[in-house]
Amino acid sequence: MADCCSPKNETDCCAVPVDQLEASPICQTCEQKAKAVQHRTLEHLLKPEASGQIQDTTYRFCATPTCDVVYFSNATKQYFRKSDTRVRVGLKETENPIPVCYCFDYTVRDIEEEVQATGSTTIPDRIRVEVKAKTCHCEVENPQGSCCLGNISKAVKQVMAETQVPV
């Protein structure tokens, strides 16, 4: 499998070609703009009864934490919700376990425990080692369909701030 998260590809990580004539990229539930995702992301992460409804259209990932919609297509009027996914969508969760890395099963709790025990975390470095080894599959494992390192960095900063550990 291609290394979707190599430093060379980081800006285009798991890029999805977007048809400019496609329907609005705005989630009709929360009215926020959403990014396109590949069909294989939906095929892998939706429950079978939902994945059987995937059509030939552009789907988008709604990253709004308070919105129950995960994927949608305004062109086909389809809205897949948290209950339609096989995994917990970390950006939309408030209770542990909150996933932040789907390829290597890291959660916010893992970061918290390591910071509490050592004052820092090596989780981002461990993920980068795996990325270099070409063992990530972000385009199908992560509900966003893209590399998790941004989410990891944000979670580390938040945990460090909450525990008042300098970053």
**CATH number of the CATH domain containing 80:** 2.20.25.270
> With b meaning 16 or more CB within 10 Å and e meaning fewer, what string describes 130-164?
ebeeeebbbbbbbbbbbbbbebbeebbeebbeeee
Question: Is 43 in the same domain as 97?
Answer: no
Question: Is 111 in the same domain as 145?
Answer: yes
With contact defined as beta carbons under 8 Å apart, do 155 and 110 qualify? Answer: no
| Res. 18: pLDDT tops 70 | no
pLDDT at 80: 98
Please check whether residue 153 lies inside any domain of the structure.
yes
Question: Is 156 in the same domain as 95?
Answer: yes
Please check whether residue 118 lies inside any domain of the structure.
yes
Whether this prediction's pTM lies above 0.95 is answered by no
Q: Which of 84, 101, 128 is the last residue of a domain?
A: 84
Structure token digits, residue 159: 């945990």
With contact defined as beta carbons under 8 Å apart, do 4 and 148 qualify? Answer: no
Question: Is 75 in the same domain as 119?
Answer: no
Domains of the chain: total:
2
Q: Is residue 79 classed as helix, strand or coil in its secondary structure?
A: strand
pLDDT at 16: 47
pLDDT at 140: 96
Please check whether residue 3 lies inside any domain of the structure.
no
Tell me the pLDDT tens digit for each residue of 70-119. Answer: 999 999 999 999 999 999 999 999 999 999 999 999 999 999 999 999 99
Please check whether residue 27 lies inside any domain of the structure.
yes
Question: Is 74 in the same domain as 96?
Answer: no
Domain that holds residue 79: 23-84
* Beta strands, E only, the chain: 35-37, 59-61, 69-73, 78-81, 99-101, 106-107
Instruction: Report residue 166's pLDDT band, with 50, 70 and 90 as the boundaries.
Output: low
Tell me the pLDDT tens digit for each residue of 109-153. Answer: 999 999 999 999 999 999 999 999 999 999 999 999 999 999 999
